[in-house]
């Protein structure tokens, strides 16, 4: 090892505290990078493997009932590679051990196994046997949630007939990668599951001989999805087509795609912020180092060390500070990444989902860490190189002080000398003070953003489940029913209140943009599902107009007042042009609303209903459930409390892991910045403070001067950081806005207090450490040094 | 340590080729509107093996001259030749190479690297030199053979200055430039340091240029250069050189 390397390592070990701080922040940055990139890569890899191996379709469509012969015409549409017709229907299910009725999606499969689009991956058991019509393959998530094994059976009401179905196998399909009940956002695997059953069984049960009601197709290379969909819709229209759609509207695809986008976005933004802070910290530390080593640099130069040697020396300093951080960060990131993928595996059902970090990622993590370190060390290294050797031999001239505004205003005479020193020090180098304050503010703001996610989800869940949805139970009918069905419902045991609703599937068109959605009829009398906007104001839909969720309004580009075309996909399939009466800002879904009366008029129907929201006497709920399980006309039952509980069960951990990571890392940053600021101040003021001690100032007094300066910056930076945090949360809420869910910008006072508190705690702790150092300051040693 | 009190007489320089040849060297520092003329047209030749003492009042330009000789600084005008190399107009890389290969510096405030031991401070220079001495041997030359692994903060001022000398000579430089090497030292320690410098000059044949405020030191020089207001005022030759141990001030 050369003498210069000895110097390097001794300098590094002399600055252990600061190096630990920088290493910790860097490790956090690299860890977020590795966690998110590795999770992203693994999800992306798993998805593409799964999609190609199990032939995930490109276009999907549902019809009321179409003859099998139509499949040939569909296959002849230019651009269509393969077509798969199916029978798909939702039924209620009685699962052993589950009080409430579950909903099952029955998906037909051929009696004999052939390669399919959206094919089955069999995890356990076997495929159904051709001559056993009651055999099913059930989805793995549903099986796991209800502890069903092969050989078990479940009871289902299949088109009015009670059937006992036997579990032959447990499997998955890319179509149900994210297995969620239609119309819902959060999975509830206990109460919703996919059952694959033989086509013959379904044909017989639903009287669908030689017919299908659902299809999936793949496109050939270079085909236009839009054109195929248009032709497909045209072919399906006479048979009650509900509008074909591509992958981007397929619920599982949508969810994984959104998750991937979010991972990629956050995997870029977070590490960038963290590494910028690393660069800033290193910059401050190394600028100070080069300033204190002026004469040493001059000696090196005098003895013939060249520019490269000097630059290399200081860059190595930065790199050595970065290396352990990168290694730690990679290790931490891999660990967190496996936690992440573990959580993902809970609601994205892949045949295999493993964290698969490639060596490229690990190399790039090291490179990114080294890059941040080099950027941080660069300006200090350049200053070292630029130092004229002769110049550096001369002692640094006393720093320039000028009388500023404060001095002239005469305010200074009112301030104690110690405070005067603080104010002068800060105002002498305003940029430096500003940079430190900015660093602290950044730490505060990241803490705020971390907390924002928690607050926002809490608020959203409360809003959705307690304010917007006031019912206990929601029932959806298989087919629209006449209005008087409400009296049958009211007769059921335990039902306290019935509020029916009409919901109509439709495609909305504005200009060249269109979107499949469903229109909900509302009345001003609705109490269980009042139409509220984000600020909980009740929205009245006027006359014949339509109110769009503002996100949908943005997607269609249809502002209030514009005329949009509605193509209803049910019944007589009327096509109408209506006026957008307004937008309603709601955090979940893409809802569309009309007055119930207007909706009925458009459908040319009298009082038809699609389902009902119920208030239920909890003491009689069990009886009600067991009755509902046997009611053939009902396709889905949703129990609100149960949905809420399952939401927290599946999402609680996810939110906890990601926010704990963020908040933990932001706390590390806060400590890193504050501690480092104090250490630099101690190094710069050490000489001056020692002189004051010699003049008879007590340790407490000089401590006050030193800490006062940083304390003042801290106090000034916190409110700024809170505001910055709010702004960052605003940006985050926009960056993460999805069609299905948009986290509202809600940050509670507790979160602001928390963010400020962590930084103050960081300040106090760092202050203690520095006071400790002050106590051990060797006065003679400090005064002897030339600096 | 030094057997004879009689130093070899200063050689007759007439007819010898100079090692350093500087001509018309001017150095002007600009500080805002003010121009400081540190050197105003200096001509000087330095010859192989000679021991030169530079005297002059504070601010007269001694350090500036030394820095230009050592390639630490460049003149505003004039020429500096080292053997057949032209130093004026040479780039940073060439000057760095010149310093690395030919020059040893000793500074008033020692300027040791505080995080390196005595031995490592010397090694710092020998590692990048072509034909260096063993660092430990260089330290033994200045009687610090027992203190190899001590850090600067564990050494006295005189000891630190001797480490600095060992560091300067360990690479066997052609010229040793010393800016007030005894300025921060007490009387006996200062003499000790001067003895070391004299011995190096004698045994290794290194040109030694020593700046000092102490006129008494001039006695040990072959030539004494007096600087005043940026000019060389006078150059005198000592017919008889006095050994440092006999100097007194
Ligand atoms: N970097 C600089 N910028 C401006 N002026 C300078 C600089 N370096 C030296 N000077 C000025 O040049 C003049 C000569 O300086 P120099 O250091 O050579 O003097 P010196 O003879 O070594 O003095 P001393 O005995 O005090 O060390 C002085 O007036 C000094 O103020
Ligand atoms: Mg000088």
Work out the mean pLDDT of chain B and round it to a whole number: 88
- The Cα A52–Cα A689 span in angstroms is 70
Q: Does B33 touch chain A (CB under 8 A)?
A: no
Q: Candidates B64, B177, B229: which one to mutate for ligand 1, based on the most atoms within 8 Å of Cβ?
A: B64
User: What is the β-pairing status of strands A88-94 and A153-158?
Assistant: antiparallel
Instruction: Using CB atoms, pick whichever of A7, A305, A307 lies closest to residue B128.
Output: A305
pLDDT at A787 over 50: no
Question: Which whole number is the average pLDDT over A655-661?
Answer: 79
Strand partners for A195:
A106, A138
Give the DSSP letter string of A679-734. Answer: HHHHHHHHHHHHHHHHTT--HHHHHHHHHHHHHHHHHHHHHHHHHHHHHHHHHHHH
User: Which is more confidently placed, A704 or A480?
Assistant: A480
- The Cα A17–Cα A23 span in angstroms is 10
pLDDT at B2 over 50: no
Torsion of CA B234, B239, B243, B246, to 10 degrees: -80
**Using an 8 Å Cβ cutoff, are A681 and A706 in contact?**
yes
Secondary structure (3-state) at A763 = helix
- The Cα A345–Cα A427 span in angstroms is 55
What pLDDT score was predicted for residue A308? 92
- Strand ranges for A159-314 from DSSP E: 161-172, 192-198, 211-219, 245-246
Torsion of CA A137, A142, A146, A152, to 10 degrees: 0
CA of B64, closest atom in ligand 1:
18
- The Cα A306–Cα A719 span in angstroms is 47
Secondary structure (3-state) at A478 = strand
Residue B89 banded pLDDT, cuts 50, 70, 90: confident
Instruction: Answer yes or no: is the ipTM higher than 0.95.
Output: no
What pLDDT score was predicted for residue A782? 59
pLDDT tens, residue by residue, A328-364: 999 999 999 999 899 899 889 999 999 988 889 999 9
Minimum Cα–Cα distance from A784: chain B residue: B153
Name the residue at shortest CA distance from atom 24 of ligand 1. B58
CATH superfamily, with its number, for domain B20-246 = P-loop containing nucleotide triphosphate hydrolases (3.40.50.300)
Q: Does A14 touch chain B (CB under 8 A)?
A: yes
pTM equals 0.83
Residue window 279-318, chain A: list those with CB within 8 Å of chain B. Answer: 295-296, 298-307, 309
Least confident of A603-617, A672-686, B234-248: A672-686
- Going from N- to C-terminal start, the domains of chain A cover 1-59+254-397, 60-253, 470-640
- The Cα B151–Cα B118 span in angstroms is 6
B63 Cα–ligand 1 center, Å: 7
**Using an 8 Å Cβ cutoff, are B93 and A770 in contact?**
no
A306 and B121 in contact by Cβ < 8 A? no
Ligand sitting nearest the alpha carbon of B58: 1
A302 and B105 in contact by Cβ < 8 A? yes
CB count, 10 Å around CB of A180? 18
pLDDT tens, residue by residue, A535-580: 888 888 888 899 999 999 999 999 999 999 999 988 888 999 999 9
Least confident of A141-145, A163-167, A425-429: A425-429
Angle at A600 between CA A596 and CA A602, to 5 degrees: 115
What pLDDT score was predicted for residue B4? 40
- The Cα B142–Cα B160 span in angstroms is 11
Question: Which whole number is the average pLDDT over A305-329?
Answer: 92
Q: What is the DSSP letter of A616?
A: E
Q: How far is A34 from chain B (nearest CA, A)?
A: 37
CB count, 10 Å around CB of A490? 13
Residue at token pair 């660092």: B135
- The Cα A503–Cα A58 span in angstroms is 27
- The Cα B172–Cα B126 span in angstroms is 9
The most distant pair of C-alpha atoms in chain A lies apart, rounded to whole Å, by: 103
Q: What is the DSSP letter of B242?
A: B
Q: Which residues from A are below 8 Å from B58, CB to CB?
A: none
User: Which is more confidently placed, A142 or B7?
Assistant: A142
Instruction: Using CB atoms, pick whichever of A2, A14, A299 lies closest to residue B113.
Output: A299
Question: Which whole number is the average pLDDT over A600-619?
Answer: 91
Name the residue at shortest CA distance from atom 1 of ligand 1. A391
Structure tokens belonging to residue A589: 């879904």
Q: Does A388 touch chain B (CB under 8 A)?
A: yes
What pLDDT score was predicted for residue A405? 58
- The Cα B46–Cα B42 span in angstroms is 13
| Percent of chain B residues past pLDDT 90, beyond the cut | 51
Residue B1 banded pLDDT, cuts 50, 70, 90: very low
Instruction: Using CB atoms, pick whichever of B109, B113, B128 lies closest to residue A786.
Output: B109
**Using an 8 Å Cβ cutoff, are B125 and A303 in contact?**
yes
| Percent of chain A residues past pLDDT 90, beyond the cut | 45
Q: How far is A705 from chain B (nearest CA, A)?
A: 29
- Cα A442 to chain centroid distance, Å, stands at 21
Residue A13 exposed, middle or buried by CB count within 10 Å (0-12, 13-18, 19+): exposed
Instruction: Using CB atoms, pick whichever of B97, B111, B124 lies closest to residue A3.
Output: B124
Residue window 112-171, chain B: list those with CB within 8 Å of chain A. Answer: 112-117, 120-121, 123-125, 127-129, 153, 167, 171
pLDDT at A504 over 90: yes
- The Cα A183–Cα B5 span in angstroms is 107
Structure tokens belonging to residue A481: 């029913």
Q: Which residues from B are below 8 Å from A307, CB to CB?
A: 92-93, 96
- The Cα B110–Cα A724 span in angstroms is 50
pLDDT at A430 over 90: no
User: Which is more confidently placed, A399 or A409?
Assistant: A409
pLDDT tens, residue by residue, B15-32: 678 899 999 999 999 887
A301 and B100 in contact by Cβ < 8 A? no
Handedness of CA B173, B177, B180, B184 (dihedral sign): negative
Handedness of CA A481, A483, A487, A490 (dihedral sign): positive
């Amino acid at each position: 090892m050369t003498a210069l390397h000895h110097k390097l390592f001794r300098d590094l070990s002399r600055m252990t505290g600061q190096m630990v701080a920088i290493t910790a922040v860097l490790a956090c940055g690299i860890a977020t990078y590795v966690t998110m990139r590795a999770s992203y890569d693994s999800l992306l890899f798993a998805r593409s493997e799964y999609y190609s191996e199990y032939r995930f379709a490109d276009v999907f469509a549902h019809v009321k009932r179409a003859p099998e012969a139509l499949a040939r015409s569909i296959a002849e549409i230019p651009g269509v590679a393969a077509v798969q017709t199916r029978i798909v229907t939702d039924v209620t299910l009685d699962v052993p051990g589950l009080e409430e009725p579950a909903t099952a999606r029955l998906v037909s499969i051929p009696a004999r196994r052939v390669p399919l689009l959206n094919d089955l991956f069999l995890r356990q058991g076997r495929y159904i046997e051709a001559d056993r019509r009651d055999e099913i393959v059930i989805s793995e998530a549903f099986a796991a949630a209800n502890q069903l094994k092969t050989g078990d059976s479940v009871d289902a009401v299949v088109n009015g007939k009670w059937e006992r179905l036997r579990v032959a196998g447990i499997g998955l399909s890319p179509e149900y990668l994210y297995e969620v009940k239609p119309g819902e956002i959060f999975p509830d695997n206990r109460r919703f599951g996919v059952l694959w059953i033989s086509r013959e069984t379904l044909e017989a049960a639903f009287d669908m001989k030689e017919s299908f009601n659902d299809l999936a197709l793949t496109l050939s290379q270079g085909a236009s999805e839009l054109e195929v969909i248009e032709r497909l819709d045209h072919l399906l229209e006479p048979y009650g087509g509900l509008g074909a759609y591509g992958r981007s509207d397929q619920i599982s695809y949508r969810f994984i795609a959104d998750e991937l986008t979010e991972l990629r976005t956050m995997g870029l933004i977070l590490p960038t912020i963290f590494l910028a802070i690393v660069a800033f910290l290193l910059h401050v530390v190394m600028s100070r180092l080069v300033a204190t080593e002026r004469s040493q640099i001059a000696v090196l130069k005098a003895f013939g060390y060249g520019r490269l040697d000097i630059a290399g020396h200081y860059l190595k300093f930065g790199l050595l500070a970065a290396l352990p951080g990168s290694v730690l960060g990679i290790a931490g990131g891999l660990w967190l990444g496996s936690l992440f993928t573990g959580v993902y595996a809970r609601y994205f059902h892949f045949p295999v989902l493993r964290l698969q970090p490639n060596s490229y990622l690990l190399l790039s993590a090291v490179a990114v860490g080294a890059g941040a370190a080099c950027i941080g060390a660069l300006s200090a290294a350049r200053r070292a190189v630029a130092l004229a050797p002769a110049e550096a031999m001369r002692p640094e001239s006393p720093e320039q002080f000028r009388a500023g505004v404060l001095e002239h205003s005469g305010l200074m005479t009112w301030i104690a000398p110690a405070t005067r020193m603080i104010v002068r020090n800060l105002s002498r180098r305003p940029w430096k003070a500003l940079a430190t304050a900015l660093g602290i503010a950044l730490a505060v703001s990241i803490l705020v953003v971390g907390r924002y996610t928690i607050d926002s989800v809490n608020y959203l869940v409360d809003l959705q489940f307690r304010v917007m949805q006031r019912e206990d139970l929601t029932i959806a009918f298989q087919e629209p029913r006449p209005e008087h069905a409400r009296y049958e419902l009211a007769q059921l045991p335990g039902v306290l209140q019935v509020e029916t609703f009409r919901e109509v599937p439709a495609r909305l068109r504005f200009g060249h943009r269109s979107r499949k959605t469903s229109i909900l009829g509302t009345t001003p009398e609705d109490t269980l599902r009042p139409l509220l906007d984000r600020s909980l104001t009740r929205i009245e839909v006027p006359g014949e107009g339509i109110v769009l969720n503002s996100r949908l309004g943005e997607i269609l580009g249809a502002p209030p007042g514009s005329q949009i075309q509605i193509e209803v996909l049910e019944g007589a399939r009327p096509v109408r042009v209506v006026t957008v009466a307004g937008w309603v800002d709601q955090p979940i879904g893409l809802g569309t609303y009309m007055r119930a009366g207007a909706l009925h008029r458009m459908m040319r129907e009298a009082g038809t209903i699609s389902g009902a929201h119920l208030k239920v006497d909890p003491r009689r709920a069990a009886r009600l459930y067991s009755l509902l399980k046997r009611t053939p006309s009902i396709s889905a039952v949703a129990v609100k409390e149960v949905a809420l509980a399952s939401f927290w069960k599946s999402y609680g951990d996810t939110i906890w892991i990601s926010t704990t990571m963020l908040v933990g890392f932001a706390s590390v940053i806060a400590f890193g910045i504050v501690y480092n600021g104090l250490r630099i101040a101690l190094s710069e003021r050490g000489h001056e403070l020692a002189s004051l001690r010699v003049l008879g100032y007590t340790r407490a007094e000089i401590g006050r001067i030193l800490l006062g300066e940083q304390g003042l910056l801290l106090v000034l930076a916190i409110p700024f950081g809170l505001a910055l945090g709010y702004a960052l949360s605003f940006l985050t809420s926009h960056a993460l806005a999805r069609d299905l869910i948009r986290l509202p910008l809600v940050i509670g006072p507790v979160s602001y207090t928390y963010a400020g508190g962590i930084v103050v705690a960081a300040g106090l702790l760092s202050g203690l450490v520095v006071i400790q150092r002050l106590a051990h300051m060797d006065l003679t040693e400090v005064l002897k040094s030339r600096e | 340590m030094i057997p004879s009190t009689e130093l070899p007489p200063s050689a007759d320089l007439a007819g010898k080729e100079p090692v350093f040849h500087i001509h018309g060297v001017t150095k002007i520092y600009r500080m805002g509107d003010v121009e400081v003329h540190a050197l105003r047209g200096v001509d000087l030749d330095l010859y192989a093996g000679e021991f030169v003492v530079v005297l002059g009042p504070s601010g007269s330009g001694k350090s500036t001259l030394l820095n230009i000789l050592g390639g630490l600084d460049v003149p505003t005008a004039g020429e500096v030749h080292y053997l057949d190399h032209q130093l004026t107009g040479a780039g940073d890389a060439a000057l760095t190479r010149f310093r690395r290969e030919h020059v040893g510096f000793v500074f008033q405030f020692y300027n040791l690297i505080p995080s390196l031991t005595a031995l490592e401070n010397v090694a710092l220079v020998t590692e990048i030199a072509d034909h260096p001495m063993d660092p430990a041997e260089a330290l033994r030359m200045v009687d610090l053979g027992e203190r190899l692994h001590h850090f600067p903060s564990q050494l006295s001022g005189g000891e630190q200055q001797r480490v600095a000398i060992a560091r300067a000579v360990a690479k066997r430089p052609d010229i040793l430039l010393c800016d007030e090497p005894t300025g921060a030292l007490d009387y006996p320690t200062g003499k000790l340091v001067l003895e070391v410098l004299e011995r190096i000059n004698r045994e290794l044949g290194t040109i030694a240029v020593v700046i000092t405020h102490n006129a008494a030191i001039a006695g040990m020089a072959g030539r004494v250069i007096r600087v005043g207001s940026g000019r060389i005022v006078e150059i005198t030759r000592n017919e008889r050189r006095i050994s440092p141990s006999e100097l007194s001030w």
